[in-house]
């Protein structure tokens, strides 16, 4: 490749609105160009790297026995209605109609499409297992597309879906995919961790994320400093907390606590560790809009419609549920120890079919007779008729607690949860740095990561919804057990740069767009041009990916571009050629090596391949 012929528009200007270095370098280095919010063109240099990433993923997926196919990007809405995700997936799902008023979605993920593809074709257990993958576009109408390719609306994903006759075989494939992903990310040369994760809107059980470690990562990961335990903070657990400070032993009694309405003040007022205080967090759960019912004339979402009717009924008889714009809101309560914080994901997972949890203000609490800052466990269900009241599992049967009395300026002491009937306990708290590992008791630390891959066990969630079955050995129809396995292919580019780029520009390791950039210092110097051209031809013949910077621009600009784009090595052919010398610069370290211009080709190859 001759640089003069390459469509690479590099720029010294700081692009606007780039928070992350990866975003800045991908734009300045001429790898990508934005065409709309969260939508990017890949320019030639970006496409070269993308292709290298795709090649590695494809080789490893093929090695695992998976088959590549390509599913339509546009999916009929009907499939999403059947799977009950049309309403539930949220606003990220882009919905539209064709000229005949038929509804469609732009695939944000393809479970429905793949089940529809396999359904009826795989009839017997003898055709199983099967793992099908594609490397294809996805569209998610992200609320805040940002950081360039990191969180695009249109992006490239490798998504694989496996089909099995039973759970044991799904477990085997899940492990195979974990091993395959590890090989892929090792070959991509990134530092990553496999962490336990939430299953999110896709549903199912058993879920692991592949996190590239980078300080700018949006995800927080909990890592044990002693053992292998690693989990996304969304679902991380800890060994139950214990404290040395004495419990506030007291007979059950109501206490006047004027204006003492937060944990810190309460802890000081009673001179007790916040561990012994019962904190209540009130939220509003949001349930789906039931839009699919409008499309079908009737709801095909049996769970959802049942749930919505339930909530509506509650709304009639109590104040805890309201209906706005067809979506149902319901007030719910979560109790934790005063020293702990509520995990949004865990709280959301506690409420069946809720699609979000949102804050509510004190006036909404007052409206249902609750004084903010004084909410407690006694009589809460009677006062509010709330359907969802949960206690953190670490509180199970705890005594010697202090909690709000559901009356302004009053708290109860001597609270004993074992005396309550039918409390529902869930894992609700967010793990903190310094908590203890649930596996080995070691200390837990927090670090930041970028999610580059995610594998799930789906079970029969989708085969059931879309009625996809096969005939098992005993001749009986059975639903497919399924797994799904995603890699954020386009996100890998910025993720690598977040880990490796330096102050001068991109560093790609082995994914660099070219292995060698021959920089001709002065293209008016015939000796330099002739030497560089010969070297270029020789390296090409040896299979080296080589670009020759033959542009009529200043030497300084050529070197700045070498550093910005991140070619793996530069060979500078300049004035020193008169003295029989050329120079090799390694991009990663910017280390410079003086070489004899007549260095044997084999020796040069060894140096650039290092
Ligand atoms: P995130 O938590 O980052 O929003 P996700 O958990 O919703 O991602 P998955 O459904 O697990 O994403 O999709 C598989 C992979 O696709 C993710 O691991 C991630 O690498 C990538 N990905 C997801 N959303 C985006 C996006 N908006 N832009 C680029 N890549 C994405
Ligand atoms: Mg994910």
Domain count, the chain: 3
Q: 173-205 pLDDT, tens per residue? A: 999 999 999 999 999 999 999 999 987 655 556
Distance set, CA 206 to CA 49, 129, 171, 233 (Å)? 32, 19, 9, 16
Indicate which ligand has the atom closest to the C-alpha of 450.
1
Same domain, 61 and 185: yes
* CA pair distance 327, 120, nearest whole angstrom: 36
Could you tell me the CATH number of the domain that includes residue 554?
3.40.50.800
Tokens of 117: 């593809």
Q: Tell whether ligand 1 has an atom less than 6 A from the beta carbon of residue 493.
A: no
Q: Tell whether ligand 1 has an atom less than 6 A from the beta carbon of residue 451.
A: yes
Q: Given a cut of 80, is residue 39 above it in pLDDT?
A: yes
Least confident of 4-18, 72-86, 95-109, 398-412: 4-18
From the DSSP assignment, how many helices (H) and strands (E) are in the chain? 16, 30
Same domain, 100 and 182: yes
Strands 321-324 and 327-337, bridge-based pairing: antiparallel
pLDDT band at 139 (very low <50, low <70, confident <90, very high): very high
Residue bearing the CA closest to ligand 1, atom 25: 151
Please give the distance, rounded to the nearest whole angstrom, from the Cα atom of residue 310 to the centre of ligand 1: 33
**Where is the domain boundary, 458, 473, 500?**
500
Please give the distance, rounded to the nearest whole angstrom, from the Cα atom of residue 292 to the centre of ligand 1: 25
pLDDT band at 291 (very low <50, low <70, confident <90, very high): confident
Same domain, 560 and 602: yes
Q: Is residue 163 part of a domain?
A: yes
Same domain, 210 and 64: yes
Helix axes 44-63, 489-500, angle to 10 degrees: 110
Of 430, 437, 446, 432, the C-alpha closest to 228 is 437
Q: Is residue 83 part of a domain?
A: yes
What average pLDDT does this structure show over 231-245? 95
Same domain, 357 and 459: no
Please give the distance, rounded to the nearest whole angstrom, from the Cα atom of residue 138 to the centre of ligand 2: 14
Could you tell me the CATH number of the domain that includes residue 371?
3.90.960.10
Q: What is the pLDDT of residue 288?
A: 81
The structure's pTM equals: 0.89
Same domain, 462 and 401: no
Q: 343-393 pLDDT, tens per residue? A: 999 999 999 989 899 999 888 999 888 999 999 999 999 899 899 999 999
Please give the distance, rounded to the nearest whole angstrom, from the Cα atom of residue 491 to the centre of ligand 2: 12
Residue bearing the CA closest to ligand 1, atom 21: 488
**205: alpha, beta or left, given left = phi > 0 and alpha = psi -120 to 50?**
beta
Helix axes 489-500, 21-28, angle to 10 degrees: 110
Q: Is residue 262 part of a domain?
A: yes
Q: Tell whether ligand 1 has an atom less than 6 A from the beta carbon of residue 483.
A: no
**Where is the domain boundary, 360, 393, 426?**
426
Residue bearing the CA closest to ligand 1, atom 12: 454
Q: Is residue 532 part of a domain?
A: yes
Which of 157, 201, 210 for mutating ligand 1's site (highest number of atoms within 8 Å of CB)? 157
Q: What is the pLDDT of residue 309?
A: 30
Could you tell me the CATH number of the domain that includes residue 141?
3.30.930.10
What average pLDDT does this structure show over 393-407? 95
Distance set, CA 24 to CA 18, 28, 419, 498 (Å)? 6, 6, 59, 11
Q: Is residue 538 part of a domain?
A: yes
Residue bearing the CA closest to ligand 1, atom 22: 488
**Where is the domain boundary, 500, 525, 543?**
500
Q: Given a cut of 60, is residue 316 above it in pLDDT?
A: no
Q: Tell whether ligand 1 has an atom less than 6 A from the beta carbon of residue 152.
A: yes
Q: Is residue 465 part of a domain?
A: yes
Same domain, 200 and 284: no
Q: Is residue 545 part of a domain?
A: yes
Q: Is residue 19 part of a domain?
A: no
Q: Which atom of ligand 1 is nearest to the CA of 486?
A: 14
Please give the distance, rounded to the nearest whole angstrom, from the Cα atom of residue 210 to the centre of ligand 1: 11
Asked if residue 64 lies in contact with residue 177, where contact means CB atoms within 8 angstroms, the answer is: yes
pLDDT band at 465 (very low <50, low <70, confident <90, very high): very high
Same domain, 381 and 462: no
Bridge partners (DSSP) of residue 520 are 573
Q: Tell whether ligand 1 has an atom less than 6 A from the beta carbon of residue 148.
A: no
Q: Could you tell me which residues come within 8 angstroms of residue 392 by beta carbon, excluding any fewer than 6 positions away? A: 334, 335, 336, 337, 340, 425, 426, 427, 428, 429
Q: What is the pLDDT of residue 71?
A: 97
Q: What is the pLDDT of residue 297?
A: 58
* CA pair distance 331, 334, nearest whole angstrom: 10
- Domain of residue 375: give its range: 253-288+323-426
Q: What is the pLDDT of residue 313?
A: 27
Same domain, 519 and 453: no
Same domain, 269 and 213: no
Same domain, 347 and 418: yes
Please give the distance, rounded to the nearest whole angstrom, from the Cα atom of residue 444 to the centre of ligand 1: 26
Q: Which atom of ligand 1 is nearest to the CA of 142?
A: 27
Same domain, 485 and 551: no
């Amino acid at each position: 490749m001759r640089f003069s012929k390459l469509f690479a528009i590099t720029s010294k200007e700081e692009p606007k609105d780039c928070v992350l270095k990866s975003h800045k370098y991908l734009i300045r280095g001429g790898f990508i160009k934005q065409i709309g919010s969260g939508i990017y063109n890949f320019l030639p240099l970006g496409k070269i790297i993308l292709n290298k990433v795709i090649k590695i993923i494809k080789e490893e997926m093929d090695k695992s026995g998976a088959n590549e196919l390509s599913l339509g990007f546009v999916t009929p809405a009907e499939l999403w209605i059947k799977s009950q995700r049309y309403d539930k997936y949220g606003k990220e799902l882009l919905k539209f109609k064709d000229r005949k008023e038929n509804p469609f979605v732009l695939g944000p993920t393809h479970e429905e499409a793949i089940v529809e593809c396999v359904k009826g074709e795989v009839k017997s257990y003898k055709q199983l297992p099967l793992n099908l993958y594609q490397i294809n576009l996805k569209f998610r109408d992200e609320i805040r597309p940002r950081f360039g390719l990191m969180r695009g609306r249109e992006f490239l994903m490798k998504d694989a879906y496996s089909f099995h006759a039973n759970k044991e075989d799904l477990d085997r494939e899940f492990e195979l995919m974990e091993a395959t992903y590890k090989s892929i990310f090792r070959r991509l040369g990134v530092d990553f961790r496999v962490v336990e994760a939430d299953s999110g809107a896709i549903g199912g059980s058993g879920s692991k994320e592949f996190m590239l470690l980078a300080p700018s990562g949006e995800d927080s990961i909990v890592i044990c400093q002693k053992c292998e335990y690693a989990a996304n903070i969304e679902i991380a657990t800890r060994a139950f907390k214990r404290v040395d400070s004495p419990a506030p032993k007291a007979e059950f009694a109501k206490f006047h606590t004027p204006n003492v309405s937060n944990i810190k003040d309460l802890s000081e007022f009673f001179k007790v560790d916040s561990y012994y205080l019962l904190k209540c967090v009130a939220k509003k759960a949001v349930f789906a809009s039931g839009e699919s019912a409008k499309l079908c004339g009737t709801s095909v979402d049996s769970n959802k419609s049942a749930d919505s009717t339930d909530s509506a009924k509650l709304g009639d008889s109590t104040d805890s549920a309201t209906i706005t714009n067809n979506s149902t809101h319901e007030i719910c309560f979560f109790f934790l120890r005063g020293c702990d914080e509520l995990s949004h994901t865990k709280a959301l997972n506690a409420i069946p079919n809720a699609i979000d949890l949102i804050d509510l203000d004190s006036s909404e609490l007052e409206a249902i007779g609750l004084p903010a800052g004084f909410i407690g466990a006694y009589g809460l269900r009677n006062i509010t008729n709330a359907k969802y009241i949960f206690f953190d599992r670490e509180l199970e049967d705890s005594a010697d607690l202090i909690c709000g009395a559901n009356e302004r300026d009053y708290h109860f002491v001597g609270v004993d949860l074992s005396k309550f009937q039918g409390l529902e306990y869930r894992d609700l708290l967010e793990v903190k740095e310094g908590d203890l590992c649930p596996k080995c008791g070691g200390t837990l630390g927090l670090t930041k990561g970028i999610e580059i891959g995610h594998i799930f066990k789906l079970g029969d969630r989708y085969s059931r919804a879309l009625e996809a079955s096969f005939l098992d050995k005993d001749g009986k129809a059975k639903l497919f057990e399924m797994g799904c396995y995603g890699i954020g292919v386009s996100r890998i580019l910025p993720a690598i740069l977040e880990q490796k780029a330096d102050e001068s520009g991109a560093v790609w390791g082995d994914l660099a767009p070219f292995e060698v950039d021959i920089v001709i210092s002065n293209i008016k110097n015939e000796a330099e041009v002739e030497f560089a051209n010969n070297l270029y031809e020789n390296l090409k013949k040896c299979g080296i990916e080589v670009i020759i910077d033959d542009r009529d621009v200043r030497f300084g600009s050529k070197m700045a571009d070498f550093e910005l784009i991140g070619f793996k090595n530069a060979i500078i052919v300049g004035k020193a050629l008169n003295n029989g010398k050329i120079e090799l610069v390694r991009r990663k370290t910017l280390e410079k090596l003086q070489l004899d211009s007549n260095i044997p080709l084999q020796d040069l190859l060894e140096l650039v391949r290092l």
